[in-house]
Amino acid sequence: MNYVHEHLKNPAIVFKEVGRVLKPGGMFISWVPNAISPSGLVIRILPFPLKKFLKKIIVGKEDPDVFPTYYRANTCSKLDKMLQRENFQRIYLEMVNGTGYLSKWRWGWYMHMLYVKICNNQYFNRFKSQIFVVYMKRTKK
């Protein structure tokens, strides 16, 4: 799943279905925005119409690829909890910094580089903007 979790009203139902259809030993790979990153926190509090408006300013045109977000499965702990319930075990996790929406402006690029530098510190790694994670379905509960 690539940037889907944040749009799910009830991710537990989706994960249950993934668990049902995936064979034991199968891999579930996910790339999601991190809800506890600074950008994730800002996005979570902005009203949807404002998100659409800001995306238009940043992209420079109307972007049809803007959907409501819920952020109910966008932290490592929530993913682990929901997927372990469906008999999955996390086998890989990497916190990743994205390119930064504001990098098209010089001030935005500097802010983003500062954020990347801070998040590369071991104490702030969990605040990186994206989560890449791989789970494997266990053979038995």
**Average pLDDT for runs of 10 along the chain of length 141:** 91 95 95 88 82 78 76 93 96 85 75 84 88 93 61
Predicted confidence at residue 100, as pLDDT, reads 65
- CA dist 88 and 107 (Å) reads 42
Domain ranges within the chain, ordered by starting residue: 5-99+129-137
Predicted confidence at residue 73, as pLDDT, reads 93
Predicted confidence at residue 91, as pLDDT, reads 97
Predicted confidence at residue 43, as pLDDT, reads 79
CA-CA distances (angstroms) from residue 18 to 26, 53, 98, 100, 115?
10, 34, 27, 31, 34
- CA dist 132 and 82 (Å) reads 16
Predicted confidence at residue 102, as pLDDT, reads 65
Amino acid at 43: I
- CA dist 96 and 93 (Å) reads 10
Q: What is the homologous superfamily of the domain 5-99+129-137 according to CATH?
A: Vaccinia Virus protein VP39 (3.40.50.150)
- CA dist 104 and 57 (Å) reads 11
- CA dist 44 and 56 (Å) reads 18
CA-CA distances (angstroms) from residue 97 to 18, 53, 131?
27, 24, 9
Residue 54 and residue 98 in contact, taking contact as beta carbons nearer than 8 Å: no
